[in-house]
Amino acid sequence: MAEAQEKHNKLFYSKSLRVKATEFLNNRRNANNLLDILHDLETSPYISTCLLTLEMIFTELLKRRDMYEEVVPLKPLEQRDPEGQYRLWLRTAYEQSWLQVLNHLEHGKPSDQQQSLVTAMKLIAFEGKYPLDSVESNFPTMKLKAVLIKLLSSTNNISHLLNKFQEYTAYTDVLFFVWKSLPAITSKSQSPNEIYIKNLLELIDKIPVNKQTNPVMMCGIKGKAGHFDYPTVKKAMNKVWNTIMRWNHTSATHKQMLIVLLERVLPHLDNPLLLTDFLMDSLDVGGPISLLALQGVFTMIQVHNLDYPLFFEKLYSMFEPEIFHTKFKARLFYLSDMFLNSTHLPESLVAAFIKRLARLALVAPSEDILLIIMFIGNLILRHPGLKRLINMPGAGCEVSSDPYVMDERDPYKSNALESSLWELKVLQHHALPQVATAARFIDLPLPSVEWDITQILDNSLDEMFEKEIRKKAKEIVLTFTKPQSLALPKGEIVLDYWKLTT
């Protein structure tokens, strides 16, 4: 009942505000209506409704050019007539409204914050199309900077706003001026707090840096503002990133910075090799940070000819039982499949990875065993000489000793080529039929094409169990005769020895 009453009150309030706005736009004598709405924005519990009303008012005023002022350079403004004074009053009210919109963008309920962002961007769009005076460019850069400053809060996480703001960066002019503005508003402090760093990194992650071919502009007019100048954007990105690199980072921001670097920033840096020391230091941190750094090092080796001979030793050391319980497990297998894709790698190195994976499969969760088995199969297909691990004496019978040294950190010294894949024989007796069936691939002719491991990277035990149940449910007859009350079905053997009485 209370919820219905609240909904009714909000609807009634919305209608009354719309009436006030319409009266104000239709007749200047109702100018006080605008002041009432501005006052409500400070005191009313229905902030979003007030924001929508002000958005309607000022977009219409901008469109009608009621606040437009012709400015002649070096010529002083003459004494204003009543028309000029009214225009000045409207512009003052507009700036006051803009400050209120920015204030609610930073504070208040998430829904009100999101509406503030929408209203702010709508006003920017209309002001770009219908400038306030004759000297303004087609894009209100200062207003966009003010929005960005609020988004880069040092007190609140603004992920919910960045998801909405990302929609506006589809416009060429917005994307260009966001990047152009970022260097000026990025904190110059040596150590901004973690919230600020996370917000900035997430903002960079949300805005693309692609050369625009078919520009779609939010504010610009054809032939004017809206051109995407990639060299300018690239220069701005390098300035911002150089600043971020100098900050003190926590483990969380370090990891986030590596993700953004690899997925967004690295292709646009002027001199990526300057990141070498940073990536090498990150490799020694351990966990997800080392994995992400390894991906960066691989890119540097592949694209920028970085010499790092210990790359595969680092990758080999990351395959530990703990990896199956981390968030970045899927990324490790995906990247490892890419790193080990070359058929020119030494067989002794690949054999060490195969044996390590096979040994880990004995202690891995069931859903990960399938992934490991397919990965091992792909590595053998790439290196046919490693079929010897399948046919090695001891691979199909009891194994008294295994020359493979699991604790050896150097894959070349692990004696993997002298061992066999007895682990897969053990897995052929796994409790889950899917795992046992997959492990039998070593007893069959190898397929001609590799398995696509990306399809099962996110495989879960629940999915495996449900699939097995669907497969077996039709094979098992649960009951032959529908039970009647407490009576047992006819032919039940228990009736030969017991009699039910009521």
- In angstroms, rounded to a whole number, what is the distance separating the alpha carbons of residues 431 and 471? 15
* Chain centroid to CA 291: 17
Same domain, 300 and 407: no
Q: How many domains does the chain have?
A: 4
C-beta contacts of 158-161 below 8 A and 24+ residues apart: 158/113, 158/199, 159/202, 160/110, 160/113, 160/114, 161/105, 161/113, 161/114, 161/117
* pLDDT exceeds cutoff 60 at 76: no
* pLDDT exceeds cutoff 60 at 79: no
**Upper half-sphere CA count for residue 109 (Cβ side, 13 Å):** 7
* pLDDT exceeds cutoff 60 at 212: no
Q: Is residue 452 in some structural domain?
A: yes
Give the pLDDT score at 118: 94
Same domain, 129 and 2: yes
Taking the C-alpha atoms of 206, 211, 215 and 219 in order, what is their torsion angle to the nearest 10 degrees?
A: 50
Same domain, 354 and 330: no
Same domain, 193 and 174: yes
* pLDDT exceeds cutoff 90 at 228: no
Q: Which of 284-293, 377-386, 413-422 has the least mean pLDDT?
A: 284-293
Same domain, 303 and 203: no
Q: Which of 79-88, 380-389, 395-404 has the least mean pLDDT?
A: 395-404
**Upper half-sphere CA count for residue 59 (Cβ side, 13 Å):** 15
- In angstroms, rounded to a whole number, what is the distance separating the alpha carbons of residues 92 and 96? 6
Q: Which of 79-88, 113-122, 292-301, 368-377 has the least mean pLDDT?
A: 79-88
Q: Is residue 275 in some structural domain?
A: no
CA atoms 293, 298, 300, 306: torsion sign: positive
At 30, the pLDDT band (50, 70, 90 cuts) reads confident
Same domain, 15 and 130: yes
Same domain, 121 and 175: no
pTM given for the model: 0.78
Tokens of 60: 């219409």
Q: Is residue 99 in some structural domain?
A: yes
Q: Which of 20-34, 149-163, 355-369, 465-479 has the least mean pLDDT?
A: 465-479
- In angstroms, rounded to a whole number, what is the distance separating the alpha carbons of residues 418 and 402? 8
Burial (CB < 10 A; 0-12, 13-18, 19+), residue 170, is: exposed
Q: Is residue 490 in some structural domain?
A: no
Better-scored residue on pLDDT, 227 or 45 = 45
CA 119-123-128 angle, to 5 degrees, is: 150
- The residue among 416, 423, 430 whose CA lies nearest residue 388 is 416
- In angstroms, rounded to a whole number, what is the distance separating the alpha carbons of residues 455 and 350? 23
Same domain, 102 and 192: no
User: Which CA distances in Å does 145 have to 8, 105, 124, 141?
Assistant: 38, 13, 11, 6
- The residue among 121, 116, 81 whose CA lies nearest residue 101 is 116
Q: What is the CA radius of gyration of the chain?
A: 33
Q: Which of 207-221, 382-396, 468-482 has the least mean pLDDT?
A: 468-482
Give the pLDDT score at 96: 92
C-beta contacts of 297-302 below 8 A and 24+ residues apart: 298/335, 298/338, 298/339, 299/262, 299/266, 300/272, 300/273, 300/275, 300/276
Average pLDDT score over the chain: 83
Go through 80-100 and write b for each residue having 16 or more CB atoms within 10 A of its CB, e for each that does not.
Answer: eeeeeeebeebbebbeebbeb
Domain limits for position 299: 281-339
The residues pairing with 69 across neighbouring beta strands, listed in sequence order, are: 133
- The residue among 136, 200, 212, 205 whose CA lies nearest residue 174 is 212
Q: Which of 245-249, 262-266, 382-386, 388-392 has the least mean pLDDT?
A: 388-392
- The residue among 188, 206, 175 whose CA lies nearest residue 244 is 188
At 1, the pLDDT band (50, 70, 90 cuts) reads low
- In angstroms, rounded to a whole number, what is the distance separating the alpha carbons of residues 71 and 213? 35
Tokens of 264: 């967004």
Same domain, 227 and 124: no
Q: Which of 29-33, 82-86, 200-204, 374-378 has the least mean pLDDT?
A: 82-86
The domain boundary, picked from 305, 339, 373, lies at 339
- In angstroms, rounded to a whole number, what is the distance separating the alpha carbons of residues 239 and 413? 45
Same domain, 119 and 4: yes
Query: How many CB atoms neighbour CB 309 within 10 A?
Result: 7
- In angstroms, rounded to a whole number, what is the distance separating the alpha carbons of residues 317 and 28? 75
Give the pLDDT score at 496: 66
At 223, the pLDDT band (50, 70, 90 cuts) reads very low
Q: Is residue 313 in some structural domain?
A: yes
Same domain, 322 and 353: no
At 114, the pLDDT band (50, 70, 90 cuts) reads very high
Q: Which of 7-11, 82-86, 160-164 has the least mean pLDDT?
A: 7-11
Give the pLDDT score at 379: 93
* Chain centroid to CA 468: 33
Query: How many CB atoms neighbour CB 14 within 10 A?
Result: 16
Listed in sequence order, the residues at least 6 apart from 435 whose beta carbon sits closer than 8 Å to its beta carbon are: 366, 369, 370, 373, 427
* pLDDT exceeds cutoff 60 at 213: no
Tokens of 327: 């968030």
Give the pLDDT score at 326: 78
- In angstroms, rounded to a whole number, what is the distance separating the alpha carbons of residues 494 and 496? 5
The domain boundary, picked from 310, 339, 368, lies at 339
Q: Is residue 496 in some structural domain?
A: no
Q: Is residue 233 in some structural domain?
A: yes
Average pLDDT of 350-368? 91
Q: Is residue 276 in some structural domain?
A: no
Give the pLDDT score at 482: 61
Average pLDDT of 117-133? 91
Average pLDDT of 16-44? 87
CB distance 278 to 284 below 8 Å? no
CB distance 204 to 269 below 8 Å? no
Same domain, 159 and 64: no
